[in-house]
Chain A
Amino acid sequence: MTAQEQEIIFRRWLDEHIGLMLKVVRGCAAAPQDQDDLFQDVLLQIWSSIPAFRGEAKETTWIYRVAFNTALAWGRGERRRREGHERFVRFGESPQSQPSHADSTPDQEIVERLYAAIRQLPRVDASLALMHLDGLSYREMAEVMGISENYIGVKLNRIRHQLAEQLK
């Protein structure tokens, strides 16, 4: 794969799947600075993974795998502050600009509470919760995690109860 092809795919993935990457980041890191750090790690890993992408897996499955693996590795105390780096992310809703309570809608508030509840879950459960909320099938989740669909079902049953209980 040429550098130009890699760049084209990266731009397209950013355009189409940036929301997915952002959800993983917000589901795994709470502080804006941590979210910023993790987001850049995710971008770097996704960029590096593109030459190995052969289209055998769905793009979303691939991106989820890379993002979750990055988030799991990021949590191991290798967090680093990128002081002085260019703050290039300008989202309509970014990790840095989450809505304040004053101007947020009820839906936004529920989503914020959901993110907070997801961050309380063990890492693996948090990953499953994010994918489940996004509506991925058991098969797709099994592909991302590398475990059986049956086990996904067992875990999700517990996670659904935990999240619902925390938000009620």
Chain B
Amino acid sequence: MNFEEYFDELQKTWQRQHASDKLTLSADTDAMLKEVRREQQLWGRIAWHGDALEIGGGFLMGLFFSYVGLRRAGWSPFSVPDWDFLLVALACIGVGMFKLVDRIAQRRKRTAASNPLKTCIQASLNEVDHDIWLQRNVFWWSWLPFTAALAVCFGYRSLVFHTPRFLAFLVLFVIPLAWWGNRLSQFTTRKVLEPRRQELQSLLASLNENS
């Protein structure tokens, strides 16, 4: 028996076996439906929490620093608010806004799982490429505006109040936090995103007729 005939036999066995399985296959549809709905709600909540933490965090901090800046001005339109706190608020809101716009743009580009495999793999690859770009540049779009605004704010306060406490807080807490956050992003890129990109690239290459 040659390869072709042998494979045809395998194919017949496969179909015969699964046809007989069909007769004994039964499923508790109600339980499945219940579980699927539960899972859908769970994943919806997880996605919402992720968005709320990243985007809402920026806006909340922006609101907090705006409040601090305006409170010092006594809420009067004729007195000058604390511009340094407002600068920090602006940086926080800017970072939150950047993330929000990016999230909306990426969601629009997302492809449904019912599309052909090649389309989905290409879309996933684009998504991962974008995530890598975001993580690699997290210092520029997130940590730099935030820490620079805080540095200006705390530096100014140290000068005005003749105390090194603000600068000490910046050096001992804020800068290490930014450094750690940046390192974590680079680690995530290396350990999670890069291998995923390679995996998708090889999948796509195996669907590429010219390869």
CB distance from B109 to the nearest CB of A (A): 16
Interface residue A85 (Cβ < 8 Å from any Cβ of B)? yes
Q: Determine if A11 and B117 form an interchain contact, defined as CB atoms under 8 angstroms apart.
A: no
Contact between chains at B35 and A86 (CB < 8 Å) = yes
Residue from the list A23, A90, A168 in contact with B18, Cβ < 8 A: A23
Q: Which B residues are in CB contact (< 8 Å) with A70?
A: 113
- Flag whether B10 is at the interface (Cβ < 8 A): yes
> Smallest Cβ distance from B60 to chain A, in angstroms?
29
Nearest neighbor of A133 in chain B, beta-carbon distance: B14
Inter-chain contact A76/B13, CB cutoff 8 Å: no
Q: A45-B113, A111-B17 are in contact. Are A18 and B27 (CB under 8 A)?
A: yes
B160 interface residue (CB < 8 Å to A)? no
Does any Cβ of A come within 8 Å of B115's Cβ? yes
Chain B binding surface SS class:
helix
Nearest B residue (CB) for A49:
B114
Nearest A residue to B6 via CB reads A164
Could you tell me which residues of chain A, from 17 to 31, have a CB within 8 Å of some CB in chain B? Answer: 18-19, 22-23
Question: Can you list, as one digit per residue, whether each of A57-71 has a CB less than 8 Å from chain B (1) or not (0)?
Answer: 100001001101110
Binding-face segment, B93-101, B118-126, B181-189: B118-126
Q: Is the interface of A mostly helix, strand, loop or mixed?
A: helix
Which residues of chain A (109-143) have a CB below 8 Å from chain B? 110-111, 114, 122-125, 127, 132-135, 143
Contacts of B117 in A (CB 8 A): 65, 68-69, 72, 124, 127, 144-146
Question: B110-140: contact bitstring with A at CB < 8 Å (1 yes, 0 no)?
Answer: 0011111111110010000000000000000
Q: For chains A and B in complex, what number of residue pairs have CB atoms within 8 angstroms?
A: 160
Q: Does A79 contact B (CB under 8 A)?
A: no
CB distance from B71 to the nearest CB of A (A): 45
B132 to chain A, nearest CB (A): 14
For B25, the chain A residues whose CB sits under 8 A away are: 18-19, 22, 91-93
Q: Which chain B residues border A167 with CB–CB below 8 Å?
A: 6, 10
A-B contact pairs, 13 of them (CB 8 A): A14-B29, A19-B18, A40-B35, A43-B35, A44-B40, A49-B114, A66-B113, A86-B34, A90-B26, A92-B23, A107-B17, A133-B15, A147-B209
Given contacts A65-B116, A114-B14, A127-B117, 14 further A-B contacts (CB under 8 A): A10-B33, A19-B22, A49-B114, A65-B117, A91-B26, A92-B21, A93-B25, A110-B10, A110-B14, A123-B206, A133-B15, A147-B118, A160-B3, A163-B7
A residues near B (Cβ < 8 Å) are: 7, 10-11, 14-15, 18-19, 22-23, 40, 43-45, 47-49, 52-53, 57, 62, 65-66, 68-70, 72-73, 75-77, 85-86, 88-93, 107-108, 110-111, 114, 122-125, 127, 132-135, 143-148, 150-151, 160-161, 163-165, 167-168
